[in-house]
Structure 1
Amino acid sequence: MLIDSHVNLHAPQFDADREAVISRALAAGVRLMVNICDKVSNYEAVRQVAQHPDIWCTVGTHPHEAKEDPDLAAETLVALAADPRVVGVGETGLDFHYDLSPRVIQAKVFRAHAAAARQTGLPLVVHTREADADMGDILEAEYAQGPFRILMHCYTSGPELAARAAALGAWFSVSGIATFKAATEVRAVIAEMPADRIIVETDCPYLAPVPYRGRRNEPAFLPHVLAKLAEIRGWTLEEAEARSEDAFFALFDRIPRP
């Protein structure tokens, strides 16, 4: 089956046609989706979408939003993650490109999420941009306090961080960026990712793959991401689908496999 591991279907871009978008995804063969929380204060909207039987969700705060609750406690995340529809902690991490939250606050909030992942046993959904050294340092330091599963979402960082994360057993997700003409370096990293720990995503409504680049992205476009993954790795489409499905259920093991 096709599985979109990272959607933002609660976003206002879908307010006018959310159910139609979900229907198109199902028609395109996307059987499961994970709706990603952008900030804890928005969790109820995120969870509302996960009432759909084919959609699950996470709980967490994106680094852009870290300043909203700089004292966010791991215990808050753990309590919300008790909901059986919650299958991951995040999206969280470091974004030094936009710096929409102070870097010290991003790191503090990120560490709270890592602690919650450790306590719940749920995977940590990691966003990282232009913060490779700091990200590697924090992941290694937190992992040393007790292991937890890591998903490097929409991975576009360098090979050094990829190697550090892979050494911690991390999974990686491939997005529509892999289809962009200028993304040569991204494709080179994808070619070296651990074969049994690669999943796919759209990150909709953002990052629509070629040939839809510039449009609102949606889960129905996921087959284009999978096709590019297959091309990069030298896999058949069937092999790419089977491998990414196996990797997904190994990571998001709170979701029962059909």
Structure 2
Amino acid sequence: MQTHYIDAGVNLTSSQYESEREDIVMRATQAGVVNMLLIGSNISDSQQSQLFAKQFGYVSTAGIHPHDAKDAPENYVKSIEKLLQHPEVVAVGECGLDFNRDFSPRSTQQKVCQQQLELARNAQVPVYLHERDAFDTMKSLLLETSVTGVLHCFTGNKDALSFYLEYGLYIGITGWVCDERRGAELQSLVPLIPDNKLLLETDAPYLLPRTLAPKPKSRRNEPAFIHEIANQVAKLRGQTVAHVAKLSQDNFERLFDKRHGT
């Protein structure tokens, strides 16, 4: 019996998929992927993700990534609100803070993130959060409001994990956990995530699992490789792959059930 997976974070709008999105989706389906969350990182990207979600039967997010915060249009909050009216759009984001690359000024990142947190709270939808090297500031922003959601591609330390879990967020695990060079700390923390807070995501086309063999010639990640993340997480947690996949699917449906009716 084939194991079913969800991919809780896919950048299907990426130019890396430009000529073969239908093939990407077909391979994912063949690999047992039954749902995906298509990530929006700016307004046009969010609009395209919504259209792809409708086309392929998935769900999507709408928001402004911290990298794009400096270019957010003045009316972006209303644009996100409009997108949230579509049944496919189940979360605000990808929003958050990235003090690692600082593609947008930190003050701008904080303002845009805070506004999206307020929007998610008022609309009573989850947030899809990005945080890289910005835990203290993110913690302060979250403590000013009350939202549900997922900390996408978690790569923080034990203190950060403890806070996010106590706050009530789900934890998204990507192929970072398959990287023996920089994923060692994450590998030690994966067993500490409660069963009811775990989500698996590829963040494709990024973060190709280093344990994947053979690797695609393109060196590009895709949703069909979610099984590799599930395998690694299962090993670290002492659980079966089928169990981990089912946990992630159940959590995904619970988090986003207000919009897609599961």
Compute the TM-score of the two structures, normalised by the length of structure 2.
0.92
Aligned to 1:161: 160
Q: Is the aligned partner of 1:171 residue 2:165?
A: no
Aligned equivalents of 1:238, 1:207: Cα separation in 2? 22
Structure 1 unaligned blocks of 5 or more = none
Aligned equivalents of 2:174, 2:125: Cα separation in 1? 22
Aligned to 2:236: 232
Contact 1:72 1:109 in 2 (8 A): no
Q: Is the aligned partner of 1:107 residue 2:106?
A: no
Aligned equivalents of 1:196, 1:44: Cα separation in 2? 30
Q: What secondary structure, in the 3-state scheme, does the structure 2 residue paired with 1:94 have?
A: strand
Identity %: 33
Contact 2:175 2:207 in 1 (8 A): yes
Q: What secondary structure, in the 3-state scheme, does the structure 1 residue paired with 2:243 have?
A: helix
2:127 to 112, 124, 128: 124
Aligned to 1:98: 101
Aligned equivalents of 1:256, 1:245: Cα separation in 2? 14
1:27 to 20, 26, 30: 30
Compute the TM-score of the two structures, normalised by the length of structure 1.
0.93
Contact 1:70 1:108 in 2 (8 A): no
Aligned to 2:261: 256
Q: What code does the residue aligned with 2:204 have?
A: C
- 1:37-75 CA distance string (max 9 Å, x none): 011133222222112243211100100000002755544
Structure 2 unaligned blocks of 5 or more = none
- 1:48-103 CA distance string (max 9 Å, x none): 21122432111001000000027555444222211111011100100001000000
Task: Give the alignment of 1:48-127 within 5 angstroms.
Answer: 48-69=51-72, 71=74, 74-127=77-130
Aligned residues: 253
Q: What secondary structure, in the 3-state scheme, does the structure 2 residue paired with 1:107 have?
A: helix
Aligned to 2:186: 186
Q: Is the aligned partner of 1:242 residue 2:241?
A: no
Aligned equivalents of 1:216, 1:130: Cα separation in 2? 25
Q: What code does the residue aligned with 2:194 have?
A: P
Farther-moved stretch of structure 1 (191-200 vs 218-227): 191-200
Aligned to 1:217: 221
Q: What secondary structure, in the 3-state scheme, does the structure 2 residue paired with 1:173 have?
A: strand
1:138 to 131, 137, 141: 141
* Deviation of the 1:9 alpha carbon: 0.7
* Deviation of the 1:175 alpha carbon: 0.4
Aligned to 1:200: 200
Aligned equivalents of 2:57, 2:46: Cα separation in 1? 18
Cα RMSD of the aligned pairs, angstroms, is 1.6
* Deviation of the 1:24 alpha carbon: 0.2
Contact 2:5 2:32 in 1 (8 A): yes
Q: What code does the residue aligned with 1:255 have?
A: H
Contact 2:42 2:72 in 1 (8 A): no
Aligned equivalents of 1:97, 1:48: Cα separation in 2? 31
Q: What code does the residue aligned with 1:249 have?
A: E
